[in-house]
Amino acid sequence: MAGHGCRVRPGRNLSALYAEFVTGDKRTALYEEHLAAGAKMVPFAGYLMPIEYPTGIVAEHRAVRAGMGMFDLSHMGELVVAGPGSLEAVDRLVTNQVSNLEMWQARYTPLCRDDGGIIDDVLVYRFPDHIMLVVNASNIEKDEAWLRDRLGQGPVLRNVSDDVSLIAVQGPRASEFVQRLSPADISSIAYYHFIDGEVAGVPCVISRTGYTGEDGLELYMERPERARELWRSLADAGRDEGLIPVGLGARDTLRLEAGLALYGNDISDQTTPLEASLGWTVKLQNREFTGSDVLARQRDQGVGRKLMAFSMIDRSIPRPHYRVYLDGKEIGEVTSGSFSPTFNKGIGLAYIEAEQAKVGKAVDIEIRGHRHPAEIVKKPIYSRPG
């Protein structure tokens, strides 16, 4: 997502120009809606996606923190596993335990290789007759192939990514707003649970999940034309209430403030969940799964590095691959960094040598040949009130 920190106010012509240069990329069902709203479209994970709208990244970010915003997340992948033993089969392939999921409950988990490297981080949803894994857009084909190879006899895997659209409404006012458009009891949906329902007359799965650090909902639906209908209904109903569309730029700054890892930046097949400070997603007791032997050894012996959050002391802005120093010695590397609209300063995530990975420790970030003071801070950097 290089360059997403720049504030520009493109008009519709600039969006069309971007489209001309990146023809061949896939488009979500909401592509025309983004163009009509003046979004700056960029290629991302094989799709043309809005990185920001004329309001700008900072305004979009602050709208989600103070009120609400809506996101097109239809580029995400959905893999359905059905048939005898599906839940148990998936449980053997993920680090977090999902065999004990309640019906209509979801759980976040890494998907790991035999050596503990993270293939992807996914959401696992338990429906009455199937399991759905929501995977990162850039990993859809890789995840599908890996799962097909590992699921064994019985479970049947289907890739329904092209048939599902996903709209998120996030922010402290999101739930009450969606409630006015839905006959379902939104308040009854617990965190990381979901229901079958409808919003503005459009049938969808309503899930209390998100990637912003705020309360909110993610709405999954079939049929592209229904996604367009719902997007327009949400926009019309929220026009006088501060609801605005939000692009990938603000989604990145929101998740960074919330200390949420981004696959390809903060986690990859070269990092393990324990290195990535995702130990809470690794359930080793009384179960075996792909990579569990390696992760058990790391738990017992420790890891050489840890993913930590930091904030800048001066006004400099960190970016991925900048080096981290302590007393003149290199001790780590930035994986994500940006300006924080909430705190008005630079923040980031970095892998730090484990013995130095202590909250409160003063470090330096090397930015364009000069070292700038920073402090290792507790994750998440931002926590919503209450």
What is the pLDDT, as a whole number, of residue 152? Answer: 83
Q: What is the CATH number of domain 12-73+164-257?
A: 3.30.1360.120
Q: 56: how many CB neighbours lie within 10 A of its CB?
A: 19
C-alpha 225/C-alpha 50 separation (Å) is: 19
Q: Provide CB contacts within 8 A for 223, sequence distance 6+.
A: 163, 165
Q: Where are the beta strands (DSSP E) in the chain?
A: 26-27, 40-44, 47-52, 69-72, 77-82, 105-112, 118-126, 131-135, 156-159, 164-170, 194-199, 202-207, 216-222, 244-245, 305-312, 323-326, 329-340, 345-353, 362-367, 370-377
User: Which residue bears the tokens 């940006």?
Assistant: 338
Three-state SS across 191-216?
CCEEEEEEECCEEEEEECCCCCCCCE
What is the pLDDT, as a whole number, of residue 205? Answer: 98
111: which strand partners? Answer: 94, 120
What is the pLDDT, as a whole number, of residue 163? Answer: 96
pTM: 0.92
Residues of the chain with CATH 3.30.1360.120: 12-73+164-257
Q: What is the CATH number of domain 304-377?
A: 2.40.30.110
What is the pLDDT, as a whole number, of residue 19? Answer: 38
Residues of the chain with CATH 2.40.30.110: 304-377
What are the 10-residue block averages of pLDDT along the chain, 386 residues in total?
30 37 75 98 96 98 98 98 96 98 98 98 98 98 97 93 97 98 98 98 98 98 94 97 97 98 98 98 97 98 98 98 98 98 98 98 97 98 90
